[in-house]
Structure 1
């Protein structure tokens, strides 16, 4: 009976959708059109009203090339169940509708707009294309936003639906990924890193069943990445929000643009390495689709902002009153940063490292705090054995070298907590050029030494700083091998990493198709690409092939042999027959004669037999 009832309900809903009539209302849209006869701005020819005149030989063409639209004021809310469109009748018309976005709103300024459909196929001149809409909220205002650089250019639009305010039980996502939709006040487009544009920030997830929509601001972010046509953004909610399944509840979040990374996964893969190599904090990150004022911008990574927070960099956050005693000792978040000179609050260390003070920020830091952190950083730089937490530094180092990241030491975060003398390294950040994506280091696995020592980019004197720890400090070298062995024993291997890449490729399939419609660069060199591979599949194959070789490269460079460790420990007297191969607990080969070794625990291997033994 239940199955029959559900089938009947579905039939009723399907019948209702098909029975919904074509909606009429008052045409609205971008006010200025273009008069192609003279190229001038107009309000009388090619206007938005022509997208609703029922004629396929007229059209709307906006004067501005992007962020322009045509729509209807329906007078009261309607649940939209179907949309239709027909392209302008000219040589470019059929392609101009690709990535056009339909939105619905209940505010005339569309600040509260939600997407209801995105076009992913070319149109047909002289014919209507139709799509069913699966969005349960009712809207008074509906519109079509043309794709970038298209002047909207649409011959006809149609909306179908039934009267009602609806609900939010099911909203529209562009793909299987969460949809991030940003609407800015007066349609202002973010244009630099300083000016924060008032915004409504909306995230639709869980197959359209979860909605987060709150006021906030948007601005650009990043350094080199800001020069790309696909811009990176920093969004900031007015109140702290728990976004998707991120651990932190926070105001600030980043949208990483992945323009030069055509696999669209390198940063997320590096974060996975960070987790597997035991970093105390790995930034949250997840792939999303992004819309800005109704225009599709592409596939991004929604990530933590690197800042002090109990679920981000978990140290004490200072106030301007913390100027003496224990309060003055922390917490501080700094970044060894090649771009430090572009920042408001920074210094050069005594040995030539450019350091940005991230927290306290430039608006709140006091002279006492600035003097203290500069003095303490110089002490750490001169005496790393006493003032640098070597373990966090070595784990960070391994993430950078395992990923083959050119920029590991171009930008390095460090932090110091209140009441502690040590500086800790992390979190990891910025891996667009990693995993064989930089023509200056490609192919990374052919390099004779670590990336940072050969062709890597280092801020100031950072190369010498790293050498002092991982090349010239015997204790640190031993600890480095121990950290590597621990990760290898826990499953850091080629098979598991390639499986992660495979899973990410599957998750990104629908989104990458839209992304490379918006940014058709798969057959172009962009940023530091070493090769043009020509397809998304081949771009991901580069990452796969790199990882299949890199683990072995790292084993060899560390003089490490992976030996699975058994659980039990036997007495060394059990090692009676030769030949045994003997390793210490860090996986380093120690020869074949137990008697010559110092007391301790060893791993011995003969064929497929592995034992852990104790020599007294």
Structure 2
């Protein structure tokens, strides 16, 4: 094999073109793209302004949990702009099992392996971050969110109406020499003055009233599952529904607002699980929360639920409002319904309570089967009516929302807020602009074509059509909500 080396005048930017001759065959171009520090990229990003991440674990296998030490380099237009040691692991439950394009959690660490707060892309310093991919199943030939922007759009709309949602940045990702495509590099929703801004709570705190972060969600595998092989987690459906007194507490009422008479913490997927709502401990974490704190927050939720059930909505007085921040519930409802996130209310759902404060909904999270993605519920009905269309799902919508929408005072607050937002932050022009800006950024920088050169393996993705479908969806959905809410 001969290698013909051309003069410097043939070098374009940081891409080196080598012509390889094998025997007497014609030369084959092989572009080698490099960062300004000599790092060879798995793909040529040309002059893209989208950050390009190169992560290396030094040959170590990436686990599900706990993580493995790795090195991350961030390039922009092939210039190294940041380098950071991280602790890396896979993330997700259903998405992890179904998708060939895996997501990742990572923690920024110092030279000793301890967590350290770091800022990326101008976002506030923290140590916990997420790399969210898109579900791509090559065997069954399907992709969730072909637009690549569902999470970005949902979170941006939430921030536009003044509600915190995870800040993020589109990136292209390479891990251990393999190009993985477009990802959303974003904050983990957690207690922090720049994220979920509630008071700290530890074992020595005497005021038990907060702050707490709960999740209505699938359960997490406990520390007893640490260091198990990836094959375990790829088939680990039972742990999604393995609730225990250590990781959660259960509502005393079923999804129909009736008292539950059967015991909690039964085996995964038992016959009556669809009736239950569990609240998992997000902050303090399950391993840190005290028994007194568990008792306090469970009693507080129970007081709220009892008040919500017992209030007479034909009168002008309400007691459930003593326990919940009504405006946060209103905004959560509106963004969830506009984005048609069928995972909301019942999984991936955050509930917070600050010290001396009330229960508040949010932030919104996990939009990968939102918008026009799924047919689980009709396109022209409320996500909150999920239980009307799906029977005996292990995770159903809690009774809270049906009950709240029976309250004319709550409905009026929704109506007033929606109509105001439609004249401002959520008008038609603004909704279209959020989509167009993201699409333009990804497409003009070549990231869409590179992503689907990797992942559209016979699936047949029409990216422009997916964007057009999303824009039509937002127009139609918001107009439908105008009519429905207008009649309240």
Q: Are residue 189 (structure 1) and residue 69 (structure 2) matched?
A: no
Deviation of residue 388 (structure 1)? Answer: 1.1
Q: Distance in 1 between matches of 2:421 and 2:89?
A: 38
Structure 2 counterpart of 1:394, from 320, 330, 351: 330
Q: With the length of structure 2 as denominator, give the TM-score of the two structures.
A: 0.76
- Counterpart of 1:345 in structure 2 is 247
1:517-570 deviations in whole A, cap 9, x for unaligned?
A: 11115x53xxxxxxxx7411111121011112111100111026xxxxxxxxxx
Q: Distance in 1 between matches of 2:192 and 2:22?
A: 52
Structure 2 counterpart of 1:245, from 108, 122, 127: 122
Distance 1:355 1:332, change over 3 A: same
RMSD: 3.1
Q: With the length of structure 1 as denominator, give the TM-score of the two structures.
A: 0.61
- Counterpart of 2:157 in structure 1 is 273
Q: Distance in 2 between matches of 1:388 and 1:479?
A: 14
- Counterpart of 2:462 in structure 1 is 535
- Counterpart of 2:305 in structure 1 is 381
Structure 1 counterpart of 2:440, from 506, 516, 534: 506
Alignment of 1:260-409 (within 5 A): 260-279=144-163, 281-322=164-205, 324=206, 326=207, 328-339=208-219, 341-342=241-242, 345-351=247-253, 352-383=276-307, 384-409=320-345
Q: Distance in 2 between matches of 1:319 and 1:85?
A: 63
SS at structure 2 position matched to 1:300: strand
Deviation of residue 245 (structure 1)? Answer: 2.5
Deviation of residue 87 (structure 1)? Answer: 9.8
Q: Distance in 1 between matches of 2:219 and 2:46?
A: 37
Deviation of residue 449 (structure 1)? Answer: 8.1
Q: Distance in 2 between matches of 1:270 and 1:87?
A: 51
Q: Indicate if the aligned counterparts of 1:183 and 1:200 stay in contact, CA closer than 8 A.
A: yes
1:109-145 deviations in whole A, cap 9, x for unaligned?
A: xxxxxxxxxxxxxxx97523154756433x5xx7686
- Counterpart of 1:103 in structure 2 is none
Q: Are residue 462 (structure 1) and residue 397 (structure 2) matched?
A: yes
Q: Are residue 551 (structure 1) and residue 468 (structure 2) matched?
A: no
Aligned length: 407
- Counterpart of 1:480 in structure 2 is 414
Q: Which runs of 5+ in 1 are unaligned?
A: 1-14, 21-78, 90-123, 148-170, 525-532, 561-587, 589-616
Distance 1:449 1:200, change over 3 A: closer
1:327-353 deviations in whole A, cap 9, x for unaligned?
A: x22111110114463476112121132
Distance 1:500 1:201, change over 3 A: same
Distance 1:174 1:196, change over 3 A: farther
Q: Distance in 1 between matches of 2:46 and 2:108?
A: 21
Deviation of residue 262 (structure 1)? Answer: 0.8
Q: Are residue 433 (structure 1) and residue 369 (structure 2) matched?
A: yes
- Counterpart of 1:10 in structure 2 is none
Q: Distance in 1 between matches of 2:159 and 2:214?
A: 22
SS at structure 2 position matched to 1:219: strand
SS at structure 2 position matched to 1:409: coil
Distance 1:80 1:456, change over 3 A: same
Q: Which runs of 5+ in 2 are unaligned?
A: 1-5, 110-115, 136-143, 221-240, 254-275, 308-319
Q: Distance in 2 between matches of 1:310 and 1:356?
A: 22
Q: Indicate if the aligned counterparts of 1:338 and 1:410 stay in contact, CA closer than 8 A.
A: no
Deviation of residue 18 (structure 1)? Answer: 3.3
Distance 1:501 1:221, change over 3 A: same
Q: Distance in 1 between matches of 2:202 and 2:132?
A: 30
Greater strand share, structure number: 1
Structure with greater contact order relative to length (CA < 8 Å, sep ≥ 6): 2
Q: Are residue 213 (structure 1) and residue 83 (structure 2) matched?
A: yes
1:597-616 deviations in whole A, cap 9, x for unaligned?
A: xxxxxxxxxxxxxxxxxxxx
SS at structure 1 position matched to 2:189: coil
Q: Indicate if the aligned counterparts of 1:336 and 1:459 stay in contact, CA closer than 8 A.
A: no
SS at structure 2 position matched to 1:381: helix
